[in-house]
Amino acid sequence: GDLKSFHELADEYFIDVRTRMPQWPGMREAREWRRLAEELHRCKGGAAMFGFERIFALVGSWEADNRIERGEIDFESFVVELESADQAMAEYRSKETDGRENPVA
């Protein structure tokens, strides 16, 4: 596929997740477990699509251990992993275009 489109879709993923994240603590406080689980599962699916393995693993562990339903979610660790994935994408993109490495097609 088109690498430019891949990066654009990844950017949209980061924007979408950051737009949705502020609602999650309220869902937890309101004990809206199903809705919160759906939100996090959606994030996990996007992480899988883009190869963000640590986000995928983190949310997957919450699902497997039923932590979402118990409200035992460490949102800060999610933010750390999201920022790390975003930074890795930015670094990958800069390496493609800085002339030191061959662009990936």
**Chain segment 55-102, per-residue pLDDT in tens:** 999 999 999 999 999 989 999 999 999 999 999 999 988 887 665 444
- pLDDT score of 6 more than 60: yes
Average pLDDT over residues 37-52: 95
* Residue, of 99 and 49, whose pLDDT is higher: 49
Instruction: Rounding to the nearest 10 degrees, give the CA dihedral for residues 25, 65, 33, 31.
Output: -60
pLDDT, position 1? 62
Contacts by 96-99 with C-beta closer than 8 Å and gap 24+?
Answer: 96/3
* Residue, of 105 and 67, whose pLDDT is higher: 67
Q: Which residues contact 20 (CB under 8 A, 6 or more apart)?
A: 39, 43
- Global confidence as pTM: 0.84
Angle separating helix axes 75-97 and 33-50, nearest 10 degrees: 20
Mean pLDDT rounded to a whole number for the chain: 90
Average pLDDT over residues 9-30: 96
